[in-house]
Amino acid sequence: MRAVVQRVKRSSVKVDGKIIGEIGVGLNVLIGITKGDTDEDIKYIRDKVVNLRIFSDSDDKMNLSLKDVEGEILIISQFTLYGDCRKGRRPSFINALGGEEAIGIYEKVIEAFKEEGVRVETGEFGADMEVEIINDGPVTLLLESKKDF
């Protein structure tokens, strides 16, 4: 499982021109699911994201977590995070998990974050989405549950 984590001042996601998810200060998290992802991968990503100390404290040092600042999270499924661009000029998505199996894992990811007591908003799995992000910093981190990078 992969995640692109962005610290934001606000973020929203639209489907068919309608806002379906919107947050204030917090994290915009793009989630990519691959074959073989399990509950352990979900737990790893969830624990990392909610506990990363990437928000500034009173000394302007990155020392506070999402929970510490009572931030919100916008979770968006991102099939293309498993795009392999090493060969040719068109990405291969052979390692990205799609369909019903991926939807089930995505829903588990959402529930796992909700269990942490943070406010969670989401995109729509498989939809063509328009995501608006007002970065804070910017601070952008890449996470991989399998430690591939």
Q: Where are the beta strands (DSSP E) in the chain?
A: 2-15, 18-23, 26-32, 55-56, 62-64, 72-77, 119-122, 129-144
Active site residue: 34, 80, 122, 140, which one? 80
38: annotated active-site residue:
no
Could you give phi then psi for residue 46, rounded to 5 degrees?
A: -60, -50
Q: Which residues pair with 75 in a beta bridge?
A: 29, 122
| Per-residue tokens: 37 | 């992802």
User: CB of 149 within 8 A of CB of 2?
Assistant: no
Report in angstroms the alpha-carbon separations of 68 from 54, 118, 129, 148: 10, 10, 30, 29
Three-state DSSP at 110 gives: helix
Residues marked as catalytic = 80
